[in-house]
């Protein structure tokens, strides 16, 4: 009986040790799990922070691209280039900035790919802008040269026009007819002619006679020859019933005493005018002026006593 009693405490101690070991394992496992869970949460939090940071950076770049697109549109438009693709890209960027982007790696990758595409478009447009600037510079230079040539040509044309006008003026002046050998005679009722000075009883008719001087420049054409008999007070003697009338002289309507229509043939043809006043002439000095085409061909004076 005495030899069997010590075995009971050993068995009890073994069982207690097993329980302690089991609990220790459970505690260790639980600790490992808590550590791993904490590590996983930390990694998830870090990944989420990285994703949000990546998204924020991408969205910021998208805003910058939006500004750059506006600048490129303005610049290319001024240079006369095509802005269709830029306007389309600008519309897409505007819409993207208004849209909420999911914070997933896939969504952010798609957004980054779009950003990269817009960046490539901006690079292409930079090259296009340089080409447009070069073309515009060449066009400006050519346009400047053309303007210079045009100015030179206009100057030449103006000089030619001035010379032409001067020549036309000279020709016009040179082609003006002149009255020569002008004579004024008084014709009485018997047809007898007397030279100035006249008496009224001798002045049944006033006779004005002259030749048209030779002029090789003047063309052969119809002419209206006008005479004006003017007293010493500057009054024109006229009678509409006897063929007198008006004509334009220095942009003003003036009376004339008599007129004839002739064909100027450059043969020094002689013209004769007769004018019957129908009443006595006042004593004094008179002048006879001869006109055609509104310019003076010649003049002569006579006196009535």
Superfamily of 179-304 according to CATH: Immunoglobulins (2.60.40.10)
Confidence of residue 288 (pLDDT cuts 50, 70, 90): very high
pTM attached to this predicted model: 0.51
pLDDT exceeds 60 at position 179: yes
Confidence of residue 162 (pLDDT cuts 50, 70, 90): confident
What does the domain layout of the chain look like in residue ranges?
10-127, 179-304
pLDDT reported for residue 245? 95
**Mind listing the pLDDT tens digit for each residue in 63-96?**
898 899 899 899 998 988 898 988 888 888 888 8
pLDDT exceeds 70 at position 39: no
**Mind listing the pLDDT tens digit for each residue in 100-151?**
766 677 777 887 888 888 888 889 988 888 888 888 888 888 888 888 888 8
pLDDT exceeds 70 at position 10: no
Burial class of residue 69 in the structure, from the number of CB atoms within 10 Å of its CB (0-12 exposed, 13-18 middle, 19+ buried): buried
């Amino acid at each position: 009986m005495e030899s069997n009693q010590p075995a009971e405490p050993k068995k009890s101690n073994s069982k207690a040790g097993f329980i302690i070991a089991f609990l220790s394992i459970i505690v260790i496992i639980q600790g490992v799990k808590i550590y791993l869970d904490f590590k996983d949460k930390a990694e998830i939090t870090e990944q989420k922070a990285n994703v949000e940071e990546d998204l924020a950076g991408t969205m910021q770049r998208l805003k910058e691209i939006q500004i750059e697109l506006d600048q490129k549109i303005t610049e290319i438009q001024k240079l006369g280039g095509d802005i269709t693709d830029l306007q389309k890209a600008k519309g897409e960027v505007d819409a993207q900035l208004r849209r909420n982007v999911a914070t997933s790696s896939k969504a952010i990758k798609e957004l980054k790919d779009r950003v990269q595409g817009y960046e490539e478009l901006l690079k292409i447009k930079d090259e296009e802008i340089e080409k447009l600037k070069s073309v515009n510079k060449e066009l400006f230079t050519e346009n400047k040269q053309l303007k210079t040539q045009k100015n030179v040509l206009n100057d030449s044309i103006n000089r030619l026009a001035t010379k032409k006008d001067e020549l036309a003026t000279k020709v016009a002046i040179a082609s003006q007819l002149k009255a020569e050998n002008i004579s004024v005679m008084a014709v009485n009722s018997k047809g007898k002619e007397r030279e100035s000075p006249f008496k009224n009883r001798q002045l049944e008719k006033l006779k004005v006679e002259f030749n048209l001087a030779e002029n090789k420049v003047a063309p052969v054409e119809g002419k209206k020859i006008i005479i004006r008999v003017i007293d010493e007070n500057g009054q024109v003697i006229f009678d509409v019933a006897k063929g007198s009338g008006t004509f334009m002289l220095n942009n003003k309507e003036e009376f004339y005493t008599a007129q004839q229509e002739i064909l100027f043939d450059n043969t020094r043809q002689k013209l004769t005018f007769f004018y019957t006043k129908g009443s006595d002439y006042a004593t004094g000095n008179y002048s006879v002026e001869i006109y055609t085409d509104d310019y003076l061909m010649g003049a002569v004076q006579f006196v009535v006593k």
